[in-house]
Structure 1
Amino acid sequence: MRNTWRRACAFAVAPLVMASAVACGGGSDDDAGGTTLRVIVNISPNLTEKYWNDLFSTYEKKHPGVKVKLELTGTISANAKLTQDLAAGDPPDVAQQISLSAENASLFADLSDQPWTADTPLVDQYAIDGKRYMVGVGQQIQSLVFYNKSAFAEAGLDATQIRTLDQFGAAMGKLKSAGYKPLQTSGQWVTGAQFSMMADAGVLTENPKWTAERNDGKVSFADSGYLPYFEHYKKWIDSGYADKSALGLTYADGQTAFLNGKSAMYIMGSYFVPAADAAKKSDDIGVFTMPTDGAHPSGQFGNISNPYVVVNKSRHKAEAIDFVKWLVTDPAAIKSQLAADGNLREGVSYPMSSLGTSVQQILEKAPSVLVKAGPSQPVAGFSDELNKQVQSLYTGASPKGAAEGLDKWWNSQS
């Protein structure tokens, strides 16, 4: 995630479906007597180009004759890169962070006959019509609030007592009075993602089938539990708790600002932990589960982490499947990917900082991990539209207008 928010926006379903009809073409990177697997991944502050090349090198050493080539995406997402390659008739072999849906599932290999898939995290939650196309390394949880311990001490706040959105707002008021920017956000995809991490925890805990019901036209954003979250968020903007100028920041800039102590709280997923560890700030940062207008603790909005698919038009499908199997079943490969991005997997442990341990404890206490997949997969492009509507609150839109805008857009897609 997708619904991996920081890695990729919603999948461009229509272009990919059309691209699936294009005949394979283009050149081959295969060396004489060997196989080259082309792999598309998303690059992030944690999962760098060097990280991927080092990981792939480990596989190559164990599998002579196979070379794994990292396909760089430049300024576009992995989804967009895959779309381009398929349209050009030059399919890669493996792709990571692809939003799977009934509309695009035929583009990828059905892995249901591979027995090893059964032991991979959340595999059946992401199945399409009972078939397994996507497998992952672990899972992320995202309904988390990271906080500056010093700021909380100066403001006289106890994180364990912040359970409702009203208490959350009151805490931001105290932090502002203490001289801190209460809530760190930024532009790009972050604004909508943070809203989703907050609102989905409450709404989907109350009704895990809400997204499926929205797909069926039974509920709406404007007349459901989502509206109060828009109202709270707008109030925070108007109170100066969320800085309007932050929309000009990149994801990396916002993360750095929080790590440098310029803000007091930061809504983000478990993948923030490695960044705090790398900055040697983990002991200075605490974390608590997202406050909501409903049950406490709520379920954790989350998703499969490091999800992989094998492209159906791969020229080396058998080798690609073997490579993906290694990525999600080899103990060393699993631990490497989990640790690199602060992800979790049942039955797998690795050395964690104090902050990572705190996140693990939140997961263990959470009543559920709320996943938007299968029948609960939102309409393609939803993450972009949500981001647009949340950012409109910063420029004068009303909470009701933003919610109605989401409904109007969603209805127009069907």
Structure 2
Amino acid sequence: MVWCLAATLAAAGCGVGGEKPSETSASGGDVTLTFLVFETPNLDAAFWDAAIARASAKVPGVTIKKLVSPNVDRTGYAKQLDASGNLPDILQSVNPAGFAQAGKLAPFTDEELRNFIAPKAGAIAGKVYQLPYNTQVIPVVYYNKDAFAKAGITGTPRTYPELLDVSAKLKDKGITPFVVGGGGADTWADMYPLTATVATDVYHKTPDWLTQRATGSVKFAGPDFTKAAQKVADLAQKGYIDPAGLSRSYADTEQAFRDGKGAMYPMGSWFATSADNTKPGFEIGAFPWPSDDGSPVTPTFTGGGTLVSSSAPNVGLAKKWALAFDEDKQNNDAFVKADGSIPAIKGYTPPSDMGPVYRATVDIYQKGMADGSIVNAFSQEAGDGSLPPGLADKAALGVQDLITGKKSAADFAAYLDDQWAKATR
């Protein structure tokens, strides 16, 4: 997950100057490398220990000391460690922005990236600092098939007006159309309706919109982005999104969908495995968020892999280990089974026993690849065409005000322009 990551991270590991990190060793280790990871309900300590051991078995001469981010902001924690002179040697799913420009990270060569489907994903000034090993569709609309049947809905919406019609039918039957959360530290979880509408109304028309925003040729307060924000505000105003749900944590929001407290759950593709594994009392389906005219739009993020510090005691060995970690078939199978990953590794095929929700999710991605409808997922971008550091968090806070009616779409767009200016001074 992000990647993004879609869960509340466990308050484990060691803080700056704290207790000694756990250690997973390769036999006969000649160099010790620290590795910053995160833990979630899907990716627990045992998961990481097993994955580390598999990579270490392929790279003799390495001892890995595992560090665990103690909070949801992995990138912020990495910055804290860096400020104290303790940037880990290898990092998992940390945003490279800022670190790369400051010379803190070692770029990967074209040869080292030869096995990746999108080897230039997330490039910064033409160089790739984070292995682009995983793709996520953000969001997919997961839906309760029983709720749809109860409301007399016989198919999934293909256009945005059809999505509104589906929502109206659900509401008429006393069913909340959308489950959306974002409470506590999980404010990021409220972003996905906006991520969807930015994809259909902004990025579909202007794929390099954020790059243009960086040059000042477009603004959030312009008509396209404001239209995307207005759609989210309208969903809330019509009662299709319940603002009370914003107090729920990510885990509680996911559970609310499983408990039937809403019919549609716009969430990243990492939910697919969870949906298959937990098996609520109804069948879950999946469809892409539709555009106004039904043109296919598939917002994705590719990246999220390991990064290597340019000050690691042995950069070459650290890069070799990072590649072994991200390319290992068993590791990728484990990520698929635990976290719904779609590995962007050439020749990789997921385990044949994956469940129906995961398969439906992968079908959405593969169709997007086939029809050329892939665009970036707003707030998840990486590389040159991405939000300034910290702005995604500000956007998530602003979305709460958009949904509760404290900000109009115009107010929200102006707020993002203001936050952009502050972040880029």
Same fold (TM over 0.5): yes
**Which of 86, 90, 101 is the aligned partner of 2:86?**
90
Structure number with the higher helix fraction is: 1
- Work out the CA distance in 2 between the residues paired with 1:199 and 1:97: 24
- Work out the CA distance in 2 between the residues paired with 1:36 and 1:412: 40
- Work out the CA distance in 2 between the residues paired with 1:75 and 1:260: 27
Equivalence for 2:382: 373
Q: What's the offset of the Cα at 1:8?
A: 10
- Work out the CA distance in 1 between the residues paired with 2:67 and 2:31: 15
CA contact 2:51–2:331 (8 Å) conserved in 1: yes
Greater shift after overlay, 55-64 or 257-266? 55-64
CA contact 2:130–2:303 (8 Å) conserved in 1: no
**Which of 307, 310, 316 is the aligned partner of 1:309?**
307
Equivalence for 1:42: 38
CA contact 2:24–2:65 (8 Å) conserved in 1: no
Q: What's the offset of the Cα at 1:264?
A: 0.5
Q: What's the offset of the Cα at 1:194?
A: 3.7
Equivalence for 1:392: 401
**Which of 51, 57, 63 is the aligned partner of 1:67?**
63
- Aligned residue pairs total 395
CA contact 2:122–2:384 (8 Å) conserved in 1: no
Equivalence for 1:359: 361
Matched, 1:330 2:335: no
Greater shift after overlay, 197-206 or 306-315? 197-206
Q: What's the offset of the Cα at 1:295?
A: 5.0
**Which of 135, 152, 161 is the aligned partner of 2:131?**
135
Distance 1:320 1:408, change over 3 A: same
- Work out the CA distance in 1 between the residues paired with 2:70 and 2:20: 21
Q: What's the offset of the Cα at 1:316?
A: 3.4
CA contact 2:121–2:128 (8 Å) conserved in 1: no
- Work out the CA distance in 1 between the residues paired with 2:314 and 2:197: 42
Equivalence for 1:54: 50
Q: What's the offset of the Cα at 1:215?
A: 0.8
Equivalence for 2:253: 254
- Work out the CA distance in 2 between the residues paired with 1:331 and 1:312: 27
Distance 1:251 1:282, change over 3 A: same
Report Cα offsets for 1:210-244 as digits up to 9, x if no partner: 11111111111222322122222112212222111
Equivalence for 2:220: 221
- Cα RMSD (Å): 2.7
CA contact 2:179–2:241 (8 Å) conserved in 1: yes
- TM-score, length of structure 1 as denominator length: 0.87
CA contact 1:197–1:301 (8 Å) conserved in 2: yes
Match of 1:203, as an amino acid? V
Match of 1:217, as an amino acid? G
Match of 2:166, as an amino acid? A
Q: What's the offset of the Cα at 1:62?
A: 4.6
**Which of 77, 80, 83 is the aligned partner of 1:81?**
77
CA contact 1:165–1:293 (8 Å) conserved in 2: yes
Greater shift after overlay, 62-71 or 271-280? 62-71
Matched, 1:170 2:170: no
- Work out the CA distance in 1 between the residues paired with 2:263 and 2:213: 35
Match of 2:300, as an amino acid? G
Distance 1:203 1:159, change over 3 A: farther
Match of 1:397, as an amino acid? K
CA contact 2:33–2:65 (8 Å) conserved in 1: yes
Q: Secondary structure at the match of 1:91?
A: coil
Q: What's the offset of the Cα at 1:337?
A: 2.3
- Unmatched runs of 5 consecutive residues or more in structure 2: 10-18
Greater shift after overlay, 146-155 or 403-412? 403-412
Distance 1:121 1:134, change over 3 A: farther
Equivalence for 2:14: none
Distance 1:159 1:316, change over 3 A: farther
CA contact 1:215–1:379 (8 Å) conserved in 2: no
CA contact 1:148–1:265 (8 Å) conserved in 2: yes
Matched, 1:200 2:199: yes
**Which of 402, 406, 413 is the aligned partner of 2:416?**
406
Greater shift after overlay, 187-196 or 241-250? 187-196
Equivalence for 1:16: none
- Work out the CA distance in 2 between the residues paired with 1:283 and 1:69: 43
Match of 2:283, as an amino acid? D
- TM-score, length of structure 2 as denominator length: 0.85
Equivalence for 2:179: 184
Distance 1:146 1:374, change over 3 A: same
